[in-house]
């Protein structure tokens, strides 16, 4: 006898999924804070530390469309309560790694939780969202992850100031509690897969590559993610070059990331009112103004902080609409589409960030970030050329 249950559409389920996204991205962003501690402990070179970032990017981002395909074809909801604890356990055990190989394995396994949860969570949000509120609910889901990602560095720094790194496994507890809540919600027991669609579903890379609108949108979002990832990676170093201390540089990054949380929420709400294409286009166009302002600001003042916050908000205002748009362009594979917009685009952004780092060595960090921002012009053109398909 089937134990599957019917889950009603409600904001409560959306909020629970947003909480899952919060902790998923919270644990995912431990690595930048842990690396400065682990590098001297294990005697790692900068090249090997960069390789660890690539391992996380590969397992957490690039694999998302692959996992998304299997989420669409089979019912993997039953593993949902285990995903967040799985990622938390491995990232919180990194201090016990005795060499590079073990550390890379732990980081890679932790990243798999991100690749699994993102397409599953985004796909489920579109199923449990109240009618006519899909973009708003997607924005709540995205904001949850952005907020967790933003808080992770600051909270982890203060945690380590109070306790030694040996106590890091204590932070697994919230993930276990969330897993219990997700199990109790009924989401893990529900089946949203259309049996007939799943039966006829086959992975066809050529067909996906021939989906011109989907490719245009994914490349565009990859360029946008390149700017976001480069800024998140290099803002603390940029701030130090401006004369800030480590604490202030950390807060500068936090302000930018908090802006991205609010921007995602506002962008999602506007998608339901004026359409995601308009929101994405105008968000990308206006992103250039505050970004260029704070990059070339002569001093750290209130206007620069405002520009930081607004720039982070605008660049992420496009995110909820991109997910919904991608699902519309690949209607039978919403999980895979979500994986492309949430994961593959940021994976591409991660690879682009290496190029930004190389440019910084020749032209300076400010100029390298400014040149990366100019790539938004290409992103804007690609979005303009992508046909919009509205949900019924």
Q: What is the pLDDT of residue 10?
A: 77
Q: Report the pLDDT averaged over residues 330-340.
A: 74
Q: What's the confidence (pLDDT) of residue 46?
A: 59
User: Distance between CA atoms of 59 and 14, rounded to whole angstroms?
Assistant: 25
pLDDT band at 3 (very low <50, low <70, confident <90, very high): very low
Per-residue pLDDT, averaged over 340-365, amounts to: 80
Q: If pLDDT is split at 50, 70 and 90, which confidence band does 204 have?
A: low
The rounded distance, in Å, linking the Cα atoms of 35 and 236 is 14
- Angle at which helix 376-385 crosses helix 276-295, to 10 degrees, equals 170
- Burial letters for 266-299: b for 16+ Cβ neighbours within 10 Å, e otherwise? bbbbbbbeebbbebbbbbbebbbebbbbbbebee
Closest CA relative to residue 329, chosen from 201, 212, 193: 212
What does the pLDDT average to over 134-148? 85
Q: What is the mean pLDDT of residues 123-150?
A: 83
| Pairs from 209-216 (Cβ < 8 Å, separation ≥ 24) | 211/329, 211/330, 213/329, 213/386, 213/387, 213/389, 214/326, 214/329, 214/330, 214/337, 214/340, 216/382, 216/383, 216/385, 216/386
DSSP alpha helices (H): ranges in the chain?
11-28, 31-42, 46-57, 64-73, 80-92, 100-128, 134-162, 173-185, 195-199, 205-209, 212-241, 246-274, 276-295, 302-329, 334-339, 345-363, 365-374, 376-385
Who's near 124: CB < 8 A, 6+ residues apart?
Answer: 13, 17, 77, 187, 192
The residue ranking higher by pLDDT, 387 or 207, is: 387
- What is the pLDDT averaged over residues 126-153? 83
CB 254 within 8 A of CB 153: yes
Write out pLDDT tens, residues 221-255. 999 989 998 888 788 878 888 888 767 877 888 89
Average pLDDT of span 79-85 = 90
Alpha carbon separation from 340 to 227, 300, 381 (Å, rounded): 17, 37, 19
Q: What's the whole-model pTM score?
A: 0.76
pLDDT at 205: 59
Question: Rounded to an integer, what distance in angstroms lies between the CA atom of residue 355 and that of residue 227?
Answer: 11
Judged by average pLDDT, the poorest of 10-14, 287-291, 309-313, 374-378 is: 10-14
Q: What is the mean pLDDT of residues 5-26?
A: 83
Weakest-pLDDT range from 16-30, 212-226, 232-246:
232-246
- Rank 66-80, 101-115, 185-199, 344-358 by mean pLDDT and report only the highest: 101-115
Which 8-state DSSP code applies to residue 99? S
Q: What is the pLDDT of residue 86?
A: 95
pLDDT of residue 82: 92
């Amino acid at each position: 006898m089937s134990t599957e249950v019917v889950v009603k559409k409600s904001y409560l389920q959306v909020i629970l999924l947003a909480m899952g996204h919060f902790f998923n991205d919270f644990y995912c962003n431990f690595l930048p804070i842990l690396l400065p501690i682990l590098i001297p402990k294990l005697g790692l070179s900068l090249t090997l530390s960069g390789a660890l970032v690539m391992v996380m990017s590969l397992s957490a981002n690039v694999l998302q469309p692959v996992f998304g395909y299997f989420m669409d074809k089979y019912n993997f909801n039953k593993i949902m309560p285990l995903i967040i604890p799985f990622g938390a356990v491995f990232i919180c055990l990194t201090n016990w790694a005795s060499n590079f190989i073990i550390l890379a394995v732990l980081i890679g396994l932790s990243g798999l939780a991100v690749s699994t949860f993102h397409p599953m969570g985004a796909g489920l949000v579109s199923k449990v969202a109240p009618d006519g509120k899909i973009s708003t609910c997607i924005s709540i889901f995205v904001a949850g992850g952005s907020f967790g990602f933003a808080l992770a560095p600051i909270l982890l720094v203060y945690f380590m100031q109070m306790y030694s790194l040996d106590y890091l496994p204590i932070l697994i507890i919230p993930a276990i509690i969330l897993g219990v809540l997700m199990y109790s919600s009924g989401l893990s027991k529900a089946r949203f897969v259309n049996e007939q669609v799943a039966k006829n579903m086959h992975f066809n890379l050529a067909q996906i590559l021939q989906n011109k609108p989907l490719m245009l949108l994914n490349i565009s979002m990859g360029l946008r993610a390149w700017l976001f990832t480069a800024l998140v990676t290099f803002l603390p170093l940029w701030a130090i070059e401006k004369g800030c201390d480590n604490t202030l540089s950390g807060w500068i990054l936090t302000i930018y990331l908090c802006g991205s949380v609010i921007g995602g929420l506002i962008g999602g709400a506007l998608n339901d009112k004026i359409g995601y294409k308009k929101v994405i286009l105008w968000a990308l166009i206006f992103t250039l103004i505050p970004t260029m302002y704070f990059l070339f600001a002569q001093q750290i003042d209130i206007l620069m902080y405002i520009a930081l916050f607004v720039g982070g908000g605008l660049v992420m205002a496009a995110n909820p609409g991109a997910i919904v748009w991608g699902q519309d362009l690949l209607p039978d594979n919403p999980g895979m589409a979500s994986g492309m917009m949430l994961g593959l685009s940021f994976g591409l952004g991660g690879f682009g960030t290496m190029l930004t780092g190389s440019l910084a060595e020749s032209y300076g960090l400010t100029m390298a970030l400014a040149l990366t921002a100019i790539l938004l012009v290409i992103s804007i053109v690609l979005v303009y050329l992508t046909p919009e398909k509205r949900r019924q």
